[in-house]
Amino acid sequence: MEIRHLHYFMAVCEELHFTKAAEKLGISQPTLSQQIRVLEDEVGMPLFDRIGKKIVLTEAGSVLLSYGTEILDTLQNVKDAIKDLQNMKSGHIRIGIMPSDLDYRITQLVIDFHQKFPKVKLKIMSSIEIVRQVLENEVDIGIGINVLPNDRLVTIPLCREEYVLTVSKEHPMANRVSINIADLKNLPVIMYPEGFLGCKIVEETVKKHGFQLNCVLETSSITSIINLVKANIGATVQPYPLIKEMNDPTLHIIHIQDDAPSRSLSIIYRVDRYVSQATKALIEQIEVYFQG
């Protein structure tokens, strides 16, 4: 089986359309159809069912898709490893990180890494689905939150961060240093929408104490949340290091004394992924940055 045949097959799987796949590959549709027939003759079974203008994978096609993905991933790892040997300080790294941490936490980390490895291109992508991104090879490494055990992932624990109540200096509770978890009951708060991990962590904690958050506004942007808090529309509950990093004198931090919500941060990457020297250096720097 030739690698180019496998690339042709994968392109058809992605598009489920021979003409579109041919355009993507830069070859003619008849040529692509002929090459797929050669591959089908080699495996001895049809790979696609052709239903009018639509095509679907056969059972044999599904098997080849599964193993073909692994083969091409392995081939890419080989290429990356050889390239890494040729020039250990070049290349590119894709990182997945939560939007709030991207906006406020890692600027200095990126600056420090770029100064050490100016030839390495970093592509930093914000996401609330970091585990999925890593597993689907959309990013090389991720900084995940409360990552569950997964035999397809390498997980490197970073730190545990407690959440705090954050209010404006004009808020009625701005004279408080600490509160109990029960003090959050009925307090107007501004949080992420339902389904966002940052909201889920806090909601699950207060639920154990028999109440729900009184969300008066929801937004997916941490910048919007903070601006609304500063306008004294309500309070918010966010990770302490995140608010501390903002260093905003118009905000007041109130610690939660008993059973404060918390999150655990970890570096994650696929167990079958080649880790370049530059990526190893970045991982080490992330560990020092978050654990320091």
What is the CATH code of the structural domain delimited by 3-85? 1.10.10.10
Q: Rounded mean pLDDT of 80-94? A: 70
The CATH classification of domain 87-158+264-291, taken from the options 3.40.50.300, 3.40.50.720, 1.10.287.610, 3.40.190.10: 3.40.190.10
Q: Rounded mean pLDDT of 40-46? A: 89
Q: Rounded mean pLDDT of 199-208? A: 94
pLDDT digit string (tens) for 17-39? 888 888 888 999 899 889 888 88
Would the pTM count as exceeding 0.75?
Answer: no
Residue 85's pLDDT band, with cuts at 50, 70 and 90, is low
Residue 81's pLDDT band, with cuts at 50, 70 and 90, is confident
Model pLDDT, residue 244: 93
Residue 84's pLDDT band, with cuts at 50, 70 and 90, is low
Q: For residues 73 and 3, what is the distance between their CA atoms, to the nearest angstrom?
A: 12
Q: For residues 38 and 267, what is the distance between their CA atoms, to the nearest angstrom?
A: 43
Domain boundaries, the chain: 3-85, 87-158+264-291, 160-263
pLDDT at position 292 over 60: yes
Q: For residues 117 and 89, what is the distance between their CA atoms, to the nearest angstrom?
A: 6
Burial degree of 42 (CB within 10 A; 0-12, 13-18, 19+): exposed
Model pLDDT, residue 87: 58
Model pLDDT, residue 88: 54
Q: For residues 75 and 4, what is the distance between their CA atoms, to the nearest angstrom?
A: 12
Does this chain's domain 87-158+264-291 share its CATH topology with 160-263?
A: yes
Model pLDDT, residue 82: 74
Burial degree of 281 (CB within 10 A; 0-12, 13-18, 19+): middle
Task: State the Cα torsion 85-88-90-96 to the nearest 10°.
Answer: 100
Q: Which of 53, 60, 81 minimizes the C-alpha distance to 9?
A: 60
Q: Which of 174, 170, 190, 183 minimizes the C-alpha distance to 232?
A: 170
Model pLDDT, residue 182: 94
pLDDT digit string (tens) for 266-281? 999 999 888 888 888 8
Model pLDDT, residue 86: 56
Model pLDDT, residue 221: 92
The CATH classification of domain 160-263, taken from the options 3.40.190.290, 3.30.420.40, 3.90.79.10, 3.40.50.300: 3.40.190.290
What single letter denotes the amino acid at residue 4? R
Model pLDDT, residue 103: 82
Q: Rounded mean pLDDT of 152-161? A: 95
Q: What is the mean pLDDT of the chain?
A: 90
Q: Which of 171, 163, 172 minimizes the C-alpha distance to 192?
A: 163
